[in-house]
Structure 1
Amino acid sequence: MYRRGPPPPGPPPPPLLTAAPCLAELRERGEPLRALGFAALVLGSVLLHWTVSLMDPGFVPQAGVSEEQEAMIPPLPKTVQLRRCGYCMVKQPMRAKHCRVCQHCVRRFDHHCPWIENCVGEKNHSLFVAYLAMQLVVLLWALHIAWSGLYFEGSWKWLKHNIFLLLSFVLMAIFTVVAVLLLVSHLYLVSCNTTTWEFMSRHRISYLQHCDTENPFDQGLIRNLWRFFCTCHLVAWEKMYFQEDSDPV
């Protein structure tokens, strides 16, 4: 009887793929730490956004300037008058302005930001600048991630499969340019100790129209940055207007 011999040896079966080498490779490249770092930046940006949106930007109380605070203010020349607000009827301290959206007068008013739905004033301006800086870092990191996923090929098929990634990259690039312009402009204004409102409306502000110097609140780059980022109390701007040592209000 004819017996068949053993089948000829075939190619060995492929080895089973395991996740361990892939995870080890990812750990060596630091991918989990990068993902955690990016998530931490996004979380910090969201928390700063909520903080700046919900905090008091420096609303002038309905009672206005108290008698004790008014006694600290030196007499102003007749050409410079601290007017009473025509909307909420409070006596405004110097550099304050009424916001028609918030329906309050805001100390050291900079502008009303629609992105945070709140005013930017003396109490939250420094956090607003920090928020812009963190938002810029998040956008730059996201741009890097999106760019690393783009592999350009000379065919329409590639564009069809990567259209959403390409549109996301263009959109983030636009937001990045906006964030850079906002951050640079605010840092410049902070370095001069001026505000967006004062910079744009100098011709309509009495205490700037009748001032001998271009900016009576400018104390030099270092002192301006220190006062802006490192002091927490409110400032009697009327005293600085007369080149005196400003005390907390």
Structure 2
Amino acid sequence: MAPWALLSPGVLVRTGHTVLTWGITLVLFLHDTELRQWEEQGELLLPLTFLLLVLGSLLLYLAVSLMDPGYVNTQPQPQEEPKEEQTAMVPQPVALRRCRYCLVLQPLRARHCCACRRCVRRYDHHCPWMENCVGERNHPLFVAYLVVQLAVLLWGLHLAWSGLHFFQPWGLWLRSSGLLFATFLLLSLFSLVASLLLASHLYLVASNTTTWEFISPHRIAYLRQRSRNPFDRGLTHNLAHFFCGWPSGSWDTLWAEGEAEGGSSQDV
């Protein structure tokens, strides 16, 4: 590995996240919080549970950050010609668009990420904190990471508050609890961001849409001038397909079914 590869944005971001995670955990253990009190009393179950949650959140973070989010095959594929037996009465699949950057035919719901320099299937967004895209393959893990991370942050917030004793003189308090108070403020900010992210992504999952589709439907050919989301099949179906991959099916099929439903409702 070249030396400059160790200074790539991805390595720096992931290293920073790992150091910050364990640094905050260490602050919570070193100060007079409930964690330290449990440890001194020999009650190790809760401290070990907290450490396992922290480790779990870190492993999920690295998994989402390092895995393939669903890159489209970079080998250029010729666009298929429509079959002769298809008629105007049958909903036609949306025409594939050739990416102007990597020259591949983009499947439905794919988008090119300029940061990753690849097209990503069911593109949601590029996460700078992960230094990776969130797409078809890692979006479920991303939601799982947000759930675990929010649990760790809220628990850490409670632990930090338990160690702040405001009855001490100001100067003494600042020397003994200044770092813990800064940690409390940092955890408050992270908890707010994680809560908003989790709420927004649970809404997107429940409606079978993506961040990109939700923000810019007017810029997306298969959503432009559509009155409803063609991929939404109800809460249960959407959750089962997102987390379990069942029932399976191509986005083109769902889009075509949406076209048929939209056309029949207009004919009435």
Q: TM-score range by the shorter chain?
A: 0.7 to 0.9
Matches of 2:39 and 2:69, distance apart in 1: 49
1:208 is matched with 223
Deviations 1:143-186 (A, max 9, x none): 11111111121632343232211111011101000000000000
Change in 2 beyond 3 A, CA 1:156/1:62: same
1:159-174 correspondence to structure 2 within 5 Å = 159-160=173-174, 161-174=176-189
Is the 1:152–1:158 Cα contact (8 Å) retained in structure 2?
Answer: no
1:183 is matched with 198
Range 187-196 or range 46-55, more displaced: 46-55
Change in 2 beyond 3 A, CA 1:126/1:66: farther
Matches of 2:164 and 2:76, distance apart in 1: 57
Is the 2:143–2:201 Cα contact (8 Å) retained in structure 1?
Answer: yes
**Cα distance, 1:231 vs structure 2:** 1.4
Is the 1:122–1:234 Cα contact (8 Å) retained in structure 2?
Answer: no
Matches of 2:41 and 2:179, distance apart in 1: 26
2:46 is matched with 34
More helix by share: 2
Establish whether residue 221 from structure 1 lines up as the match of residue 213 from structure 2: no
Change in 2 beyond 3 A, CA 1:24/1:38: closer
Which segments of 5 or more consecutive residues in structure 2 lack a partner in the other structure?
Answer: 1-36, 259-268
For the pair shown, the structure with the greater C-alpha radius of gyration is 1
1:137-176 correspondence to structure 2 within 5 Å = 137-153=151-167, 155-160=169-174, 161-176=176-191
TM-score by length of 1: 0.78
1:44 is matched with 56
Secondary structure of 1:243's match? helix
- Aligned partner of 2:137 among 123, 134, 144: 123
Matches of 1:174 and 1:23, distance apart in 2: 26
Q: Kindly report the root-mean-square deviation, in angstroms, between the aligned alpha carbons of the 2 structures.
A: 2.7
Matches of 2:114 and 2:79, distance apart in 1: 27
1:197 is matched with 212
Matches of 1:59 and 1:145, distance apart in 2: 41
Deviations 1:192-247 (A, max 9, x none): 00000001111111110143x41000000111011101118974101100228xxx
Is the 1:65–1:92 Cα contact (8 Å) retained in structure 2?
Answer: no
* Percent of aligned pairs sharing the same letter: 54
Matches of 1:41 and 1:66, distance apart in 2: 47
Is the 2:69–2:120 Cα contact (8 Å) retained in structure 1?
Answer: yes
- Aligned partner of 2:70 among 41, 50, 58: 58
Secondary structure of 2:223's match? helix
2:149 is matched with 135
TM-score by length of 2: 0.73
Matches of 2:113 and 2:150, distance apart in 1: 27
- Aligned partner of 2:255 among 223, 241, 247: 241
Establish whether residue 76 from structure 1 lines up as the match of residue 92 from structure 2: yes
Kindly tell me the number of residue pairs found equivalent between the two proteins: 215
Matches of 1:132 and 1:159, distance apart in 2: 34
Matches of 1:215 and 1:63, distance apart in 2: 30
Is the 2:61–2:130 Cα contact (8 Å) retained in structure 1?
Answer: yes
Is the 1:65–1:93 Cα contact (8 Å) retained in structure 2?
Answer: no
